[in-house]
Amino acid sequence: MKRALMFIAVLLAAWIAPALAADDPTTAPVQPTSTTESAPAASSPADSATPPATASAESVPPAAPNTDPDTIGRAVDEEIGFQPAATDHAETIHGFHNLLLVIITGVAAFVTVLLLWVMVRYNARVNPKPSTFSHNTLIEVIWTIVPVVILVVIFIPSMNVLYEGDVVPKADLTIKAIGHQWNWSYEYPDNGNFSFLSEMLSDDKAKAAGEPRLLGATTHVVVPVGKVVRVIVTSQDVIHSWAVPAFGVKMDAVPGRLNETWFKANREGIFYGQCSELCGVNHAFMPIEVEVVSQDRFEQWLAETKTKPDTYQYSETEVAPAASVASAQH
């Protein structure tokens, strides 16, 4: 009993301590160190954080942090449940979760009531002479059929959700996300085959840029709204995981393997995620930032990337879209 209580106390301490540290503004995370081996074609963190002199002259002063859950995909204070869905697939996941919640609650309530009834009605004090029968055909049929029905009700929508997330429809845009210890690099093979490095902003830079702490990135992904975006995910060192909760997307980045996932954002905004596979000491400092914009703004951003050679590196030859499709492996 004492060991069990000690074990529970350790779990509570491990759960509460990070939350207290996150709320303490004086506690700063260890910033991830960028190595030149992790992204040979990408820029250094300093170049990513500070745009070169050739950048667009229409610079916008830092904005106040956005906390509107409808336009920014991240957790907010006192929020309960999932982040608001930004894709139809995420809405399907939320609906399946709500169905499971009803089923689980019903099963747990029924079992709890049954146990309480048995303890009260059939304890030794009120029922000193117990029954001697050992079988009841009707009850045995019921407790066999009902669980089967419950499993079928769960199975059908779960397979629909899995199939929808696994089968990539015809893509309008392909992005390649490469995990490193501890940052991400991205490639746009369909749009000039350029690449860039994305690292976590320091606390001071995130505050100045109006970005959330531990989630803002030096350079982020930009995609058009209402378009099917295929994301090819891989890693250069250890296993990472590219995940954006508002999109309902999570895919492991495995060294030597190309996995793929997809999303189709149904509204504009900025959506955040993090590496979701333990990958080393700075695992918690690998943010993912995706900005969903209009098609016109996306094309403008593509043009702007050519004016920032220190941040966006263009390859000599452009990769054909068909090549990127054929290279993806399930």
Q: How does pLDDT run across 42-79, given as a tens digit for each residue?
A: 333 334 333 333 333 333 334 444 445 445 677 777 77
pTM recorded for the entire structure = 0.69
With a cut of 50, say whether residue 183 has pLDDT above it: yes
b or e along 202-232 (b: 16 or more beta carbons within 10 Å of the residue's beta carbon)?
A: bbeebbeeebbbbbbbbbbbbbbbeebbbbb
The pLDDT of residue 121: 86
Ordered by start, the domain boundaries in the chain are 45-57+67-76+170-327, 88-125+137-166
Look at residue 296 in the predicted model and tell me its pLDDT. 93
Would you place residue 28 in the very low, low, confident or very high pLDDT band (cuts 50, 70, 90)?
very low
Spatial contact of 179 and 236, defined as CB atoms under 8 Å apart: yes
Q: Is the peptide bond before 182 cis (omega within 30 degrees of 0)?
A: yes
Superfamily of domain 45-57+67-76+170-327: Cupredoxins -  blue copper proteins (2.60.40.420)
Q: Residues 257-281: pLDDT tens digits?
A: 999 999 999 999 999 999 999 999 9
Looking at residue 4, what is its pLDDT? Answer: 52
Contacts of 274 (CB under 8 A, 6+ apart): 214, 215, 243, 284, 286, 287, 288
Summarised one tens digit per residue, pLDDT across range 85-131 is 999 999 999 999 999 999 999 999 999 999 999 899 888 888 888 77
pLDDT digits (tens, 9 = 90+) for 135-155: 888 989 999 999 999 999 999
- pLDDT of amino acid 48: 38
